[in-house]
Amino acid sequence: MALKASSLKVGDTHSERVVENLTRTQIVQYAGASGDYNPLHHDEIYTTRVAGYPSIFAHGMLTMGLTGKVVTDFVGDGTLTRFGVRFTNQVWPGDTLDAKATVLAVREDGGQHYVDLAVSTVNQDGKEVMSGSATARIDP
Amino acid sequence: MAKITFPVEASHIMMFARAIGDTNPVYHDAAAAKQTEAGGIIAPPTFPQAVAQFDPDYHLRPKPGQKWFGSGKTPSGIEGKPPSSGSLHAEHHYEYHRHLRPGDVLTVETHQGGVWEKESKRAGKLTFRERITEYRDQLGALVITVRSVGVTTERPVDQG
């Protein structure tokens, strides 16, 4: 169901736990589906001994993909016109992520109604791993 | 950069949706998807990233007969390569004119954008590189634009 401008107000939120105890296998699954086989995201030996990180870590785009579900579950299918993020902290195996979309504005432009959202994803320590914004078409 | 042809296929969309933990039927069930406002299967918003599969020269995919920088007998398959913490993804911005559907055949072209530097406490000198990627459909219409920023760090990001 499409969202309706008339039933939305600034400050409304939608949040979901998008992953609990992220596994290395899910990160590998993302590598296979996206085609990004950077060893930093699956090769513990390379990542710890050559790149100098404490362990492998998730693709930023996996975090954006996980978070996208919260946005589309809120605004509906195929209605996004814009979705942009900054990756602020790395996501590690074992992390649990919660994502939240918050209504920033409900507006009309050329007869089409839109909702602007702030998007934020935090880990189990409350540390923000990704933040951004999105816009979707909505019904009047 | 060379243009890449990106055929959008239903099974690929299904695998991608599984990887991001999204069980929405609009990404895998044609009958259920028909009943939604999308009117049929569409791709998840971050699916355009999977264009990497169709880039013949993509540097983050091992290729037969070529050395790979990940581990094998040794921690890196490219000996003598200076230690590097690699490039990280800093920003990613999509603009959608419409969402992708199975059967779309996209032509994808990437242009380099700006390059800038910044000092950071957690990782030393940061070099940011911007790339703009345009996805056009089989009719030549611009469907998606991506602005992506990668960052190369002087040293691994301090986790403290």
Residue B112 CA to residue A54 CA, distance in Å, equals 32
Residue of A nearest to B63 (CA): A37
Sequential pLDDT tens for chain B (160 residues): 689 999 999 999 999 999 999 999 999 999 999 999 999 999 999 999 999 999 999 999 999 999 999 999 999 988 766 555 568 899 999 999 999 999 999 999 999 999 999 999 888 899 999 999 999 999 999 999 999 999 998 888 887 6
B26: buried, middle or exposed (CB in 10 Å: 19+, 13-18, 0-12)? buried
The two structure tokens encoding residue A1: 């169901």
Distance (Å, whole) CA B35 – CA B49: 27
**Structural domain boundaries of chain A?**
5-22+59-138
Closest residue of chain A to B143, computed from CA coordinates: A81
**Window B:106-145, CB contacts with A under 8 Å:** none
The answer to whether the CB atoms of A34 and B75 lie below 8 A apart is no
Task: List domains and CATH numbers for chain B.
Answer: 4-57+81-153 (3.10.129.10)
End-to-end CA distance of chain A: 13
A5-22+59-138: CATH topology is: Thiol Ester Dehydrase; Chain A (3.10.129)
Write the pLDDT tens digit of every residue in B50-93: 999 999 999 999 999 999 999 999 999 887 665 555 688 999 99
The pTM of the full predicted model, rounded to 2 decimals, is 0.95
Residues near B61 by beta carbon (within 8 Å), at least 6 away in sequence: A35, A37, B52
pLDDT band (50, 70, 90) for residue A2: confident
* Inter-chain touch B18–A29, beta carbons under 8 Å: yes
Residue-wise pLDDT for A33-71, tens only, equals: 999 999 999 999 999 999 899 999 999 999 999 999 999
